[in-house]
Amino acid sequence: MYGNTGKIIVVDLTTGKIEIASLPETDYLSYIGGSGLAARYFWERGNFQADPLSAEAMLIFMNGPFAGLKLSGASRSSVAGRSPLTGNWGDSSCGGYFAPELRYAGFDGIVLTGKAEKPSLLVIEDNAVCIESAEDYWGKGIESVNRSLKDKFGKTWRNLIIGPAGENQVKYALILNEAHHAFGRAGFGAVMGSKNLKAIVVKASTKTMTLADPEAFETLRKELNPRIKEALASDVMRVNGTAANLEGGVYSGDVPIRNFTSNFWQEMAESLTGSTLSEKYLTHGGACAYCTIACKRNVRITEGIFAIPDGPGPEYETIVSLGSLIGSMDLAAVCKAGRICNDLGLDTITTGATIAWAMEAFEKGDITAADTDGISLIWGDMETVIDVLIPAIAARTGKLGRLLADGSAAAARRIGKGSSDYTAHAKGLEVPAHDPRGGGHGLALTYAISPRGACHVAFPMLFMEMGACYYPEIGFEYELEPKTDENKAEAAVIAVALGSIENSACFCQFADREITIPEWVALFNTVAGYGWDIDAMMLAGKRVFYLKRLINYRFGRTAADDTLTPRMLEPARDGEPEGIAINLDAMKAAFYRLMEMDPIQGIPTQSALIACGMAEEFEHI
C-alpha cells in the first residue's frame, strides 16, 4: 500500500485490549480515507443501536492519504461516529499536527470503543500503544493539560485533549490538538469523555512514507505549494486570518446577527473584521503542519475586563458566533469568550448559536428568570456570557447550564412555546456563521442535505456561490448568482462529490481551491497509487456521500429530515437579501432527482447504488 499505511489502532477501553488491525485496500479505493473510510468502517462494524455516549458507541479518528506530506493543507484528519448532539452520522475535521505524527508512527487511524474504568490517556509511540492513567488531568482545562503533557512527554509529542465540557458530556464538546486546532463540531469531545479518555498522545521516531510515484509527486508538490501560498485568498488570510472578508460578508448579508434576525449591521462590520483583529490584538500568525497559507491567529489583550495573555485567537466562525450572533461587536470580548470555550472544550459555533437562541427566547419571554436561576440574557452582554453562561454550560451546572448543554434544538424542545421555530439548525447541528439567505441559496440546500447537518465545509457550495470554483473538467462552469435557486441543485450534485473527496482526503478547503481536478487525480495516483481517472475519483466522492446517507437512514433519518428551521427559511428582514425567500423544496426535489435518490426515504435508489458498486450496501437497508 502507498501513502496510506493500511493499519489502524483498535482499542477497547473497557477491557484495555489494544489491537493493530489492517484495512483492505479496496476500502481505500472505494472510500478514499478520512471521514469516507471512517463511514465504511462504521458501516461494517459500528453498533447502529448504541447511544452515542454509551460504552458500545464507536469513535473513529481517520487520516487521509496525504497526511504527513509537505503539501499545504494536506495534513488534516477526521473524527467520526454517531453524533451525541444530533443522533446522526457525524464527522469533524481538524488541522494542526496530530495527523502527520500518527501517520509517521505507522497508522491511518484509531478506533475506540468501550469505557475505561478511570480517566485514561492513550499513548502511541511508534508501534507501541498503551493506556495510562489520566486522573491527574481530569477536571482540568485543555491549556493546562496541554502544558502538562508537553512537560511529561516532550514538546514534539502531539496530542488530542478534551476539556471539562467533554468530561461532563456536553453534547457539543470538542477535541483540541495542541490546545489550538479543533475537531469542533458534532460533539465528539463528549464521546471521548463518555469513554473516560482525557487525551491521546502520539510520537513517531521517523518521518518516512512510501509513495506510489515519489518523483511525480515531488514535481506536483513543487508546483502546488507556491501556487497555494501566492493565491490572493491565501495572502489575504495570512495577513488578516479567516475573518479577512467579514466586512464584505456583512454587506452581502452572509454574516448572521442576533440569532439570524438581521443580515446587516454596519458598525459591527469594521469592529469584528480580520484587519481590526490584526491591528488591535494579533501577536503572530500560525499554521497547521506544512501549510503555507498560515491563517491561524494568536492574540493578546493587555487591558480591560477582557484581557487575556498571548495565545490562540479566534477564527471567522468564532468571531461571528460569539460576536454578532449574540449581539456583540466587542472584539476583545469575542477573543476572551473564544479562549474560554477552547480551554473548557466547547464548539464555539454551537455555543454561540445556543446562547443566541436563549437570548431571543428570554427577550420573547419564552425563557424567564425562573428558567435561568435569575440570570438575565441580554443581547451583547458579554460579561454574563463569559463569566456565567459558558462556564455553566461546560460544567452543566444550574438550570441554565443544564438546559443549554444539549444544544439549541434540544433546549427548544424542552422549553416549547414555539421556540423551535427560531432555532437555526439542520438535523440538530447549528447553522454556522454563513447565513444562506445572504451567502447563497445553494448553501441552504447543502445545509439541508448534508448527512451531519448544517455545515459550510462538508461541501464547497459556499465557494461555488462566491465564484471561487471553476472546474470545466467535471462540468462546473456555472456562474452562480448566490441569492437565487438557479442551477443550485446541479451545482450541489458536483459539490457533494467534490466535498466528499476533499473531506475524505482530509484536505483544507482553503488550499483545495487552488488545485485543479486533473491535479487532484494526480495527487491520489502519485501518493496512494489509486490508479484513478477523473470519473473514478468523482464516483468515489459520490459513493462516500451515498454511504453516509445510508448510515443516517439506518439511524431512522429520511428525506423529511433534510430541512431547515422556520427561522432559516423566513425571508431576511434587512440588508442586501431583504425579502428574498429561499425555495428549498424545489432545490431539494431537483437534487434528489439528479442524484437518483428516493424523495421520501432520502437514500439512493437501488440502481444508483449498483452503479456506484454498492449493491452489497443496498442489501443492508
**Geometric angle at alpha carbon 569, from 490 and 577, rounded to 5°:** 80
C-alpha Rg value of the chain to the nearest Å: 22
Of 219, 438, 178, nearest in space to 312 by CA: 178
Query: CA-to-CA distance for 315 and 256, rounded, in angstroms?
Result: 15
Beta-carbon contacts of residue 132 (< 8 Å; ≥ 6 apart): 120, 121, 123
Q: Which residue has the cell 450496501?
A: 617
Q: Which is nearer to other proteins, 210 or 266 (CB)?
A: 266
Q: Out of 30, 88, 240, 350, point to the residue binding other proteins (CB under 8 A).
A: 240
Stretch of residues binding other proteins (CB under 8 A), selected from 105-113, 352-360, 364-372, 465-473: 465-473
For residue 465 the three cell numbers come to 456561490
Stretch of residues binding other proteins (CB under 8 A), selected from 143-151, 158-166, 247-255, 283-291: 247-255
What are the start-end ranges of the E strands in 419-522? 425-426, 429-430
Q: Which is nearer to other proteins, 253 or 323 (CB)?
A: 253
For residue 123 the three cell numbers come to 499513548
Q: Out of 466, 523, 584, 612, point to the residue binding other proteins (CB under 8 A).
A: 466
State the minimum distance, in angstroms, from the CB of residue 502 to other proteins: 17
Q: Which is nearer to other proteins, 28 or 478 (CB)?
A: 478
Would you count residue 226 as binding other proteins (CB under 8 A)? Answer: no
Q: Out of 58, 74, 250, 331, point to the residue binding other proteins (CB under 8 A).
A: 250
Q: Out of 151, 267, 303, 479, point to the residue binding other proteins (CB under 8 A).
A: 479
Q: Which is nearer to other proteins, 374 or 467 (CB)?
A: 467
Q: Out of 226, 309, 467, 599, point to the residue binding other proteins (CB under 8 A).
A: 467
Query: CA-to-CA distance for 311 and 298, rounded, in angstroms?
Result: 5
Q: Which residue has the cell 493543507?
A: 73
Q: Out of 151, 155, 206, 232, point to the residue binding other proteins (CB under 8 A).
A: 232
Query: CA-to-CA distance for 118 and 535, rounded, in angstroms?
Result: 49
Of 124, 310, 278, 265, nearest in space to 199 by CA: 124
Q: Out of 470, 473, 531, 586, point to the residue binding other proteins (CB under 8 A).
A: 470
User: Are 179 and 312 spatial neighbours (Cβ–Cβ below 8 Å)?
Assistant: yes
State the minimum distance, in angstroms, from the CB of residue 278 to other proteins: 9
For residue 44 the three cell numbers come to 461494517
Q: Which is nearer to other proteins, 270 or 616 (CB)?
A: 270
State the minimum distance, in angstroms, from the CB of residue 159 to other proteins: 34
Q: Which positions from 417 to 456 touch other proteins by CB under 8 A, shown as an x/- string?
A: ----------------------------------------
Beta-carbon contacts of residue 57 (< 8 Å; ≥ 6 apart): 47, 50, 51, 81, 82, 113, 191, 194
Query: CA-to-CA distance for 25 and 31, rounded, in angstroms?
Result: 10
State the minimum distance, in angstroms, from the CB of residue 232 to other proteins: 5
Q: Which is nearer to other proteins, 430 or 490 (CB)?
A: 490
State the minimum distance, in angstroms, from the CB of residue 461 to other proteins: 14
User: What do you get for the CA distance between the two ends of the chain, in Å?
Assistant: 32
Would you count residue 468 as binding other proteins (CB under 8 A)? Answer: yes
Counting residues that bind other proteins (by CB under 8 A) gives: 19
Hey, how many other C-beta atoms are within 10 angstroms of the C-beta on 589? 14
Would you count residue 244 as binding other proteins (CB under 8 A)? Answer: yes
Stretch of residues binding other proteins (CB under 8 A), selected from 29-37, 64-72, 76-84, 232-240: 232-240
State the minimum distance, in angstroms, from the CB of residue 576 to other proteins: 9
Distance of alpha carbon 116 from the chain centroid: 26
- What are phi and psi for residue 415, nearest 5 degrees? -75, -35
Beta-carbon contacts of residue 203 (< 8 Å; ≥ 6 apart): 101, 105, 124, 125, 126, 153, 154, 156, 157, 158
- What are phi and psi for residue 30, nearest 5 degrees? -85, -35
Q: Which is nearer to other proteins, 94 or 464 (CB)?
A: 464
Q: Which is nearer to other proteins, 153 or 251 (CB)?
A: 251
Query: CA-to-CA distance for 495 and 497, rounded, in angstroms?
Result: 5
Q: Which positions from 252 to 291 touch other proteins by CB under 8 A, shown as an x/- string?
A: -----------------x-----x----------------
Q: Which is nearer to other proteins, 353 or 466 (CB)?
A: 466
Binding positions for other proteins, rule: CB under 8 A: 232, 235-236, 239-240, 244-245, 247-248, 250-251, 269, 275, 466-470, 479
